């Protein structure tokens, strides 16, 4: 494709921005991540605009870039934050935690303080 001006690129991106955001949000279910995916997609599209063969296929092209970026972020987030369900033994409610549960953390702190106070102050 022949060179495209920055202004023309900006106009085309602006036209499709709501669709890009909806696509990313549909994949990620998180507004901040969707915004990140769209931002990265627009940057990648700007850097690779010379690879676009026909100006008429811009929408499909940038939507595919956005879908790929959203899937990449989804996979990264899934790998980085394994979330496990735990049940609080007192309330019986389910809690979500990453790694150590807040309940286990409170038990650990409580035991540590008990040991400290049982020994007494110097």
pTM to 2 decimals? 0.64
3-state DSSP of 11-42:
HHHHHHHHHHHHHHHHHHCCHHHHHHHHHHHH
The answer to whether 28 touches 21, Cβ cutoff 8 Å, is: no
pLDDT at 5: 84
Whose tokens are 């939507």? That residue is 63
**Are residues 21 and 11 in contact, defined by beta-carbon separation less than 8 angstroms?**
no
Residue-by-residue pLDDT tens, the chain, 122 positions: 456 788 889 999 999 999 999 999 999 999 999 999 999 999 999 999 989 888 789 999 999 999 999 999 999 988 775 554 445 454 455 544 444 444 454 555 555 555 544 555 44
d(C-alpha 12, C-alpha 77), whole Å:
30
| The predicted structure's pLDDT at residue 34 | 93
- pLDDT computed for residue 4 by the predictor: 78
pLDDT for 77 equals 87
């Amino acid at each position: 494709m022949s060179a495209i001006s920055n202004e023309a690129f900006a106009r085309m991106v602006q036209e499709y921005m709501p669709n890009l955001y909806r696509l990313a949000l549909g994949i990620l279910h998180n507004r901040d991540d969707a915004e990140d995916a769209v931002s990265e997609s627009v940057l990648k599209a700007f850097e690779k605009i010379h690879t676009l063969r026909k100006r008429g296929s811009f929408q499909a092209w940038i939507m595919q870039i956005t879908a790929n970026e959203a899937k990449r972020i989804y996979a990264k987030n899934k790998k980085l934050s394994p979330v496990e369900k735990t049940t609080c033994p007192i309330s019986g409610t389910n809690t979500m935690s990453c790694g150590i549960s807040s309940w286990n953390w409170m038990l650990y702190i409580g035991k540590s303080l008990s040991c400290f106070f049982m020994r007494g102050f110097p």
